[in-house]
Amino acid sequence: MPVEPRKEARHVLLGVTGCIGVYKAVEILRGLQQAGATVQVVMTRHATEFVRPLTFEALSGRPVVVGMYERPDYAVIEHIALAREAQLLLVAPATANVLAKFAQGLADDFLTTLYLSNTNPVLVAPAMNVEMWHHPATRENLARLRARGVSIVEPGSGYQACGEVGVGRLAEPAEIVSRALALMVAEGAGQRRDFAEAHVLVTAGPTVEDLDPVRFLTNRSSGRMGYALAEAARDRGARVTLVTGPVQLPRPQGMEVVEARSTREMYRAVMGALEARTIYLGAAAVADFRPAVQAETKIKKRGDGRVTLELEPTEDILAAVAAAPGRDGRFVAGFAAESENLLAYAESKLRAKGLDLIIANDVTIPGAGFDGETNVATLLRRDGQRRDLPIQTKRAMADRILDEIAGMRSIEAPLTEHREEVSR
């Protein structure tokens, strides 16, 4: 029986394809190295039109592989040898072209041949024009890759090199590095499926309360934290239902997604989906108030222009979930975004609503506010324990939150079984 080659700890194959986002691949390389990984770079011919291989060679300390036949004196079959010594194949940026080749099993250059001979986890970070991202062919290719177990770092939204605005920008290097490291940790310990028996219900984004047909009340929530939690739970084996307010984020795959605009709509969606859900993660920034009366026509300026609005409280979704029938065995976690007295307010909310866990954010801290890629938090448990989470990407924080929940549930499981045994 042939002996499998020993894999070096945290060894990454970094595939780089041809688009303007190539410059971020240099930051990704450095981020992986700072985390202790060794990196072998593989570039497509088109990628070398944007950044020369010498840049990656100088930083990685390894020759960059571009063509299939550039080293005829090698005694090994190089694409197989490289795949055997790695823990992860990361392709960033991944163009629509290379995604199509991966999905169809085409192997016409070194990178696509490497993909077919690779047996390690694969992580791709797409980057392309917004119309290319939304094209049915690209959506089908992504769905096919997901079905084969390929992990995907969704692109961001914003101004693109072509002058258009929309989804398609390469995700930030810190997020890509975080996902890559998480995959390697999971692979090293055996892929984490610690939520395989869970059915997780997540809320995300803001809610919107209309004043009249033109104006509305809302907040700055981007939905990124809730989406990160939903995706992390999905990747750890959970069946996930995501109830989302209006956000500018790609629709996540591999889960049920329910859209809601107002607090009342989100409340109805959550309560309608609550049955049989074992974990509730209330990450949405739900509006606390709405106009007592919604004007049927646009409110006009009159006199001195002053307008008095009468507001009424909205539904308290988190409290309703915590108090819902069938709470035994359901884990309920919420968020507290505050600008002062963070721990006092969060502790009060934890106790008043009867939560198992609350994630407290001081939105005045740099890196912890709304609509950012990172977060800073303190986890407060109902048993009084507290854990501080330093600044990190929201996806990394999502996994830390799930780690905490997994630990709390594993402690409670024997107690629950004991109570059931006594009752019998």
Q: What confidence category does residue 314 fall into, taking pLDDT thresholds of 50, 70 and 90?
A: very high
Q: What is the mean pLDDT of residues 365-389?
A: 86
* CATH code, residues 11-188: 3.40.50.1950
Over residues 31-58, the pLDDT tens digits come to: 999 888 899 999 999 999 999 999 999 9
The per-residue pLDDT for 168 is: 82
**Is residue 19 annotated as a catalytic residue, yes or no?**
no
On whether the pTM is more than 0.85, the answer is: no
pLDDT tens for 284-301 read 999 999 999 999 999 888
Tell me which range, 107-116, 260-269, 271-280, 364-373, is most confidently predicted by mean pLDDT. 260-269
Of the candidates 107, 162, 273, 324, the residue annotated as catalytic is 162
Burial class (CB in 10 A: 0-12, 13-18, 19+), 364: exposed
Q: Is the pLDDT of residue 97 over 70?
A: yes
Q: Residue 167: beta bridge partners? A: 157
Tokens 């077919």 belong to: 116
Quick one: pLDDT at residue 419? Answer: 37
What is the percentage of the chain residues whose pLDDT exceeds 70?
Answer: 87
pLDDT, position 78? 56
Mean pLDDT along residues 180-186: 76
pLDDT, position 1: 31
Extended strands (E) in 215-350: 216-217, 239-244, 256-259, 279-282, 289-291, 311-313, 331-338
Say whether pLDDT at 417 is over 50.
Answer: no
Mean pLDDT of 404-413: 76
pLDDT for res 197: 85
pLDDT, tens only, 117-176: 888 889 999 999 888 998 999 999 988 898 888 888 888 877 666 666 677 889 889 889
Q: Given this model, what pLDDT does residue 147 score?
A: 81
Residues counted in the chain: 424
The pLDDT value recorded for residue 80 is 64
Residues 6+ apart with CB under 8 A from 272: none
Strands (E), 17-132: 38-43, 88-94, 122-126
Sign of the alpha-carbon torsion through 294, 258, 316, 404: negative
**For residue 233, pLDDT beyond 50:** yes
- Mean predicted confidence (pLDDT) in 240-261: 91
DSSP 8-state assignment for residue 2:
P
Q: What span, in angstroms and rounded, lies between the C-alpha atoms of 420 and 403? A: 26
In the chain, what are the domain boundaries?
11-188, 199-423
Residue 110 predicted with pLDDT over 60: yes
- Report the CATH fold assignment for 199-423: Rossmann fold (3.40.50)
| Euclidean distance between CA atoms 364 and 360, whole angstroms | 12
- Write the pLDDT tens digit of every residue in 319-330: 999 999 877 789
Query: Is there a common fold for 11-188 and 199-423?
Result: yes
pLDDT of 79 reads 55
Higher-pLDDT residue of 326 and 344 is 344
